[in-house]
Chains A and B, each alone.
Chain A
Amino acid sequence: MTDVFIVGAGMIKFGRYPDRTYFQLGAEAALMALDDAGLGIKDVGAVYASSTFNAASMLGQKILQQIGQTGVPCINVSNACASGASAVREAFTGIKSGLYDIVLVVGAEKNPSGMLGGSPVDGPPPEGLFGSVTMPALFAEAGMVHTNAYGTTLEQFAQVAVKNHHHATMNPKAAYQKETPLDMVLASEMIAYPLTKLMCSANVDGAAALVLVSEKRARELGMARAVRIRGSAMASDVFEPRSPEMLEPNSVTRLAAARAYEMAGVGPEDLDLVELHDCFATAEILHYENLGLCAAGEAGRMISSGETALGGRIPVNVSGGLLSKGHPIGATGVANMIEIVEQLRGEVGARQVSGARIGMTHVLGFGGSSAAGVHIFEKA
């Protein structure tokens, strides 16, 4: 089977776009990725479009209405926060199978405003009566498990936000480019202990697109800026005794990571940087261990020592992550791959991880059940 390469990447600056539709945002990112690849929409054999909130409205076809209706297969993907990674995984599968040579993936989202969480059920509104179904509360509960087991502190969770907001000051496409020192993170509004407002992801609009090609096409187009997908893995959640009463972000991530490492033939020690799903600061701490970046119980020490900051042993979320670059949900999994692609190409300026050769992306989707996607990339 052919290897699969990324030859085009494009994303809009994340933020609020009240006067534009999600498919206009997606179309803009799609054209940026095609231009980056030196290709046109007529070259594309299939389109996979991801959106958590708009996939059911035929997002991909609406994008093609904007940029050219070529009649190609167009599949719309919704898989909670793992939507983007799921679309890339399907594109990867389509090229691996030999069905397509060139595939366009577009993630686009306009998030609803306000706090995201569970849907209403019969009977009295459950929020407050039966605990909380808000996402900050779910990820606070998951983080407190780490605190209870290892003594991880409020300050250590807050240091994740300090780091990722700092990284975003070097990313002109991040929604926020503002330093947030530790005292500012701790003093921001407490949402669900141990999560303050600055430890919650930035709820913004955005779009991101990638062009994936077969090895044959990559060689024709030129390998100088090509990035090889070495591992592409998805997992759904396995039985966990407390789930879904309690969010269980760990085992599903571990399962996807194990598959990705096996496919790629590399281990955590081979990674030069990671973009992981920091939807909340607690999540980043959990995923250091879930992705094998450190041993069980070491994540608090890892953030405090600066190992995951730019310049550290294994920089994490150099883009600014979901906390500061932003989290347009269905586009997030595509956007974190774009950071890795541009890092491996050496094109990101001040936030460049020097000598970056192998990178990983991770997303976790949750909506009463879970999906995880882990991809591993290498400079071709």
Chain B
Amino acid sequence: MENSTLAKPGTKVVRVGPDGSAWIEGYRCQACGAVVTVATMACRSCTSRTPPAAFRATDHGKLFSWAVVHRSYPGIAVPFVSAIVDLDDGLSLKGTLRNVEANALRSGMPVVVVLDDAGGTHDKHGASYVGFHFVPEGAHA
């Protein structure tokens, strides 16, 4: 019933397999190549009625733009870097970029997607969520 404690996707682009493995999923139009983060009924770029097809995204990308957030909603730890990252196979994501000094941020810097426990949150049945963040390439852990 509803008491599964298997991990769940913590945000729309995350997928969790039956074995607990997790990945980022995107959708690519077979007609024009446009890539989006959600399933749509037709291609929002070229209007092809063949729905863009799901693909498992790479975990390598480049930083496109960012904001260093110093004031957020009450209770949210600041500062943090809100980053727009272009993955190397076309999917663009917004996420938090960790393990980097603000003055080291550069457009085009290589970053890696790290799947994580979405802040350690759980649903009411105790299931954990799978989220993600970015780190600069070579700055793992």
Using a CB–CB distance below 8 Å, which chain A residues touch chain B? Answer: 115, 117, 121, 123-124, 126-132, 134, 136-138, 140-142, 144-145, 148, 189-193, 195, 239, 241-242, 245-246
| A145 / chain B contacts, CB cutoff of 8 Å | 64-65
- Residues of chain B with a CB closer than 8 A to A246's CB: 64-65, 84, 92, 94
Give the shortest distance, in Å, between A280 (CB) and chain B (any CB).
Answer: 11
Q: Number of B residues whose C-beta is below 8 Å from A?
A: 43
* Top 6 A-B residue pairs of the complex, sorted by shortest distance between their CB atoms: A140-B67, A131-B82, A239-B45, A148-B107, A124-B121, A132-B82
Whether B77 contacts A128 by the Cβ 8 Å rule is yes
Check A148–B65 contact: CB distance below 8 A: yes
Given A129-B119, A144-B66, does the pair A192, B71 have CB atoms closer than 8 Å?
Answer: yes
Chain B interface residues toward A at CB < 8 A = 8-12, 34-35, 37, 44-45, 64-73, 76-78, 80, 82-84, 86, 90, 92-96, 102, 107, 118-119, 121, 129, 131-133
Q: Could you list some 19 contacts between A and B, CB below 8 A?
A: A123-B9, A127-B73, A128-B69, A128-B80, A129-B10, A130-B132, A131-B84, A131-B94, A136-B69, A140-B69, A141-B82, A144-B66, A145-B64, A190-B70, A191-B70, A193-B102, A241-B35, A242-B92, A246-B84
B38: shortest Cβ distance to chain A, in Å? 9
With A131-B83, A192-B82, A241-B34 as contacts: A124 and B129 at CB distance below 8 Å = yes
Number of A-B pairs whose CB atoms are under 8 Å? 123
Instruction: Among A123, A144, A148, point to the contact of B67 (Cβ < 8 A).
Output: A144
Q: List residues of chain A with CB within 8 A of the CB of B8.
A: 123
Q: Within the complex, what minimum Cβ distance (angstroms) separates A130 from chain B?
A: 5
* Measured CA separation A245–B85 after assembly (Å): 10
Contacts of B77 in A (CB 8 A): 128
Q: Are B11 and A130 in contact (CB under 8 A)?
A: yes
CB pair A128–B121 under 8 Å, yes or no, is no
* Nearest CB in chain A to that of B32: its residue: A239
With the chains together, A195 CA to B69 CA distance in Å? 9
Specify which chain B residues have a CB less than 8 angstroms from the CB of A137 in the assembled complex: 67, 69, 72, 82
